[in-house]
Amino acid sequence: MNDDADKRCDSDTDTHFSDDWLRLREAADHRARHPEPTRVAAGWLTRRSDSSDSGGPAQAPRAVTLVDLGCGSGSNLRYLAPRLPGAQQWRLIDHDAALLERARERCTSLVSADGDPVQVDTCQATLAESIARGFEGVDLVSASALFDLLTAGEIDSLAGACVDAGCAVLFALSVDGGIHFHDPLGDSVDDEEDRFIFALYEAHQRRDKGAGAALGTDAPRKMRDTFERRGYRVVDAASPWRLDVDSLPLVEALMEGWRHALHQQAPESGARIERWHAARLERIRLGQVRLSVGHRDLVALPPGSAT
């Protein structure tokens, strides 16, 4: 279980995640997201859909077309659709047919920020297949909690496909490595054991997930650099999870996922990992510490676009 990349378009035994896990993290994901990238994306879509920009006779704004890569059970759509303007046509893409069906079921009643209809189609495909098909006719490509699993080459390929289509991107909740424990006043209580554990975990994040070494916590920087190099205007912002005893089911599942990954990465340190896991989880259960897990949200607009 990867803490921040809950689904990958490609089939891989390390990156299949349950609907239970996706349900468990959805509220924390939605609370964490920074409003600014979504606001910038909403402005882009408003301008994109306004046919009067073409210089012809004024017409009603057209529906915008959006893609959600690695959609899982539709959490990203449920967050974005009510915050974006106008009539929306969504294409949800994931390698998992069961999750796609759940996404369709749970998103049928969504409306946009303006009360316009939200149409949803689903497509079972890998990330590589999606990139190869391209995004012709798409206004915006979105994804959530995906990119730490990808390689540098995959992000380059994805950016190239977006450039070819002239579309914007909105990528949320990319893990940035900022994992910390805090006391009730918000001061860090990280110690040597935490630093040892998180270094192991970061190494695990960079393991080969099926297409080469994953970017892990370098993903946000790589995405920004990749799109800026292609002339895109990029706005990004921090979107950390902040978890305490009120989020205990999520914390327990999250730390169990870490525990499993740590044992994979350093089986020789099993006893040390177990002591750390038990001690930190107990302090969270007692309300003595809370946990923050860093992410970043990013919107990138094609050359010539105003933010």
Q: What is the CATH number of the domain that holds 28?
A: 3.40.50.150
Q: Which one-letter DSSP state was computed for residue 95? A: S
Which of 130-139, 165-174, 205-214 has the weakest average pLDDT? 205-214
Judge whether 273 lies within some domain: no
The pLDDT score that the predictor gives to residue 230 is 96
* pLDDT tens profile 41-70: 999 999 998 854 444 555 677 899 999 999
Judge whether 115 lies within some domain: yes
Judge whether 255 lies within some domain: no
Domain count, the chain: 1
Q: Average of pLDDT values for 173-197?
A: 95
* pLDDT tens profile 241-289: 999 999 999 999 999 999 999 999 999 999 999 999 999 999 999 999 9
Which of 12-16, 159-163, 197-201, 215-219 has the weakest average pLDDT? 12-16
Judge whether 199 lies within some domain: no
* 251: Cα separation from own chain's centroid: 18
Q: Is the dihedral of CA 84, 88, 91, 94 positive or negative?
A: positive
Judge whether 246 lies within some domain: no
β-strand partners of 213: 208
Show the domain range for 144.
Answer: 13-179+206-241+294-301
The pLDDT score that the predictor gives to residue 49 is 87
Judge whether 257 lies within some domain: no
β-strand partners of 124: 94
Token pair, residue 100, equals 């796609």
Judge whether 288 lies within some domain: no
| Residue 13 clears pLDDT 60, i.e. is over it | no
